[in-house]
């Protein structure tokens, strides 16, 4: 089935909600997704395979810094390079918007995501203690300063 990669738009909300249920333990839900898609300081990308979203992610431009807010690949599509492709498109978009630095938080147990971010030039610069409400896990703060 063909893969369509493009900027996420408001009419994608329902498909993204379905995707999130499968991808994340703690999905954002409709209001947050909708809020992000109408925010002109945010940019999100979707990967569609047929009618289904198989990857989604993006960032907010906060005073010239790119904050990656979410990204994920559907469970049965992981390990195929989609995560890296998604992250590189996010970084490329930020570069075109003249953003020089990008940051994100990631669970310290999320080795796959940490590997992905490190493979794209992000480095751990600090920790937020008890950042995640569900299990009080710490978050690593990662940055890339040379976008």
Q: Which residues sit at the interface with ligand COA, rule CB under 6 A? A: 23-24, 71-73, 78-84, 106, 110-113, 115-116, 119
- Please, what is the minimum distance in Å from the beta carbon of residue 99 to ligand COA? 19
- Please, what is the minimum distance in Å from the beta carbon of residue 119 to ligand COA? 4
- Please, what is the minimum distance in Å from the beta carbon of residue 88 to ligand COA? 9
Q: Return the number of the residue (37 or 54) whose C-beta is nearest ligand COA.
A: 54
Tokens of 10: 């408001």
Q: Return the number of the residue (14 or 118) whose C-beta is nearest ligand COA.
A: 118
- Please, what is the minimum distance in Å from the beta carbon of residue 87 to ligand COA? 8
Query: Is 38:44 a contact under the CB 8 Å cutoff?
Result: no
The helix (H) or strand (E) run that includes residue 139 is strand 139-144
Q: Return the number of the residue (28 or 34) whose C-beta is nearest ligand COA.
A: 28
Which among 121, 120, 100, 113 is positioned nearest to 140, based on CA atoms?
113
Dist. CA 46–CA 116, nearest whole Å: 18
Write out the DSSP string of 53-74.
Answer: EEEEEEEEEETTEEEEEEEEE-
Q: Return the number of the residue (39 or 112) whose C-beta is nearest ligand COA.
A: 112
The helix (H) or strand (E) run that includes residue 107 is strand 101-107
In the bound state, the residue with its beta carbon closest to ligand COA is: 83
């Amino acid at each position: 089935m063909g893969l369509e990669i493009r900027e996420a738009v408001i009419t994608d909300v329902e498909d993204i909600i379905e995707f999130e249920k499968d991808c994340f333990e703690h999905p954002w839900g409709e209001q947050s997704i909708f809020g992000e898609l109408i925010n002109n300081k945010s940019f999100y990308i979707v990967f569609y395979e047929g009618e289904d979203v198989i990857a989604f992610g993006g960032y907010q431009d906060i005073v010239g810094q790119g904050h990656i807010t979410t990204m994920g690949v559907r469970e049965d599509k992981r390990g195929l390079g989609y995560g890296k492709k998604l992250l590189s498109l996010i970084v490329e978009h930020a570069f075109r918007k003249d953003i020089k630095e990008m940051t994100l938080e990631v669970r310290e147990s999320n080795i796959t995501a940490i590997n992905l971010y490190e493979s794209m030039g992000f480095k751990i610069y600090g920790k937020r203690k008890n950042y995640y409400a569900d299990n009080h896990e710490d978050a690593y703060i990662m940055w890339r300063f040379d976008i």
